[in-house]
Structure 1
Amino acid sequence: MDKELNPAFDLLTLTADIVSAHVANNSVTIADLPSLIAGVYGALAGLKAPRSAEEAAPQPAVSIRRSIRPDTIVCLEDGQQMKMLKRHLMTHHQMTPGDYRAKWNLPADYPMVAPNYAERRRALALKIGLGRKSAKSAPTPAIAPAKKPKTLRKKLSMFAPSE
């Protein structure tokens, strides 16, 4: 039997090395030794086991398509309905919108606010004048350089006392 191709042999060797190093530096009773060996072997075997597909791809609380509703947006993490998602993500899940989109494989333009709420805020902003250019910020038309103003010449005869 080839030692390099047998994974069970590798696990046993690693287990023996780890347990012997632990026992050399710590006092372990003989009764605890089998449980220590089994624990180390189980931990090493668990590292080698492939992860299941369920762990790799988490399931959302609702489908992505149904998460956007006219008046609410649904959090894929916990299924809560709300108008604005960004603050909820940070306070309850410690995620930024970018992290959230990456975890659930969402497009970059996936909304973090309910559509009707965004429209109401947009209308309110336009109503109070946001989004319009003010008269001060409008560019002034190019004016030709002004000519030098003519100086008034004093006519001596006008100011001279009449005789």
Structure 2
Amino acid sequence: MSQTPSGAPAHADMVRLASDIVAAYVGNNELPTEELPGLIRTVYASLSALTDGEVEAERQKPAVPVKKSISENFLICLEDGKKFKSLKRHLRTRYDMTPEEYREKWGLPADYPMVAPGYSRQRSQLAKKMGLGKNEK
């Protein structure tokens, strides 16, 4: 795709993208012929607005306040408000997001926990009881 000096796609590329979108839409939906030019204009205008930066993505708000997302026995996911003992797997499977990406997205500190404090303590005690982490050979 060629670009203008500002980094936006060239007019020909925008027309091609708009026509691809319209073709896909018309291929799966019924549309009166007289409405086709209006649809093309709307799609092209939307694409142009996106590349010109006119449409600024609305910043997503957390499901709960950050301060309330950490509890002794669970963490509340800022994406969907669900409670978990450990967030890492949920973030990967549901949102294809790493803990680092999650922290960055929500402006969280690097030490923001991915495991509930109480659960982490419980697992640590169990590991110590089992003798894990000792170098006895």
1:44 shift after superposition: 5.5
Partners of 1:80 and 1:33 in 2: CA distance: 43
1:107 shift after superposition: 1.2
- List per-residue Cα deviations over 1:10-43 (Å, max 9, x = no partner): xxxx69xx5xxx8xxxxxxx94675266336633
**Counterpart AA for 1:71:** N
1:80 shift after superposition: 0.2
- List per-residue Cα deviations over 1:131-153 (Å, max 9, x = no partner): 3332x3xxxxxxxxxxxxxxxxx
Partners of 1:121 and 1:44 in 2: CA distance: 51
Aligned residue for 2:85? Answer: 83
RMSD, aligned α-carbons: 2.8
- Return the TM-score normalized by structure 1: 0.56
**Counterpart AA for 1:50:** E
Q: Unaligned stretches of 5+ in structure 1?
A: 1-13, 23-29, 137-163
Task: Please state which structure has a larger fraction of its residues in helix.
Answer: 2
Aligned residue for 2:23? Answer: none
Partners of 2:97 and 2:81 in 1: CA distance: 15
- Return the TM-score normalized by structure 2: 0.65
Q: How many residues align?
A: 109
Instruction: Name the SS of the counterpart of 1:60 in structure 2.
Output: coil
Partners of 2:94 and 2:40 in 1: CA distance: 40
1:60 shift after superposition: 0.5
Identity %: 48
TM superposition outliers: structure 1 runs of 4+ over 4 Å: 30-34
Alpha-carbon spacing, 1:50–1:70, altered in 2? closer, same or farther (3 Å): same
Q: Which residue of the other structure, out of 67, 70, 75, is the alignment partner of 1:68?
A: 70
Which structure is richer in relative contact order (CA contacts within 8 A, separation 6 or more)? Answer: 2
Alignment of 1:12-161 (within 5 A): 31=34, 34-35=37-38, 38-39=41-42, 42-43=45-46, 46-47=49-50, 48=52, 50-52=54-56, 55=58, 57-134=59-136, 136=137
Partners of 1:116 and 1:77 in 2: CA distance: 22
Partners of 2:47 and 2:127 in 1: CA distance: 60
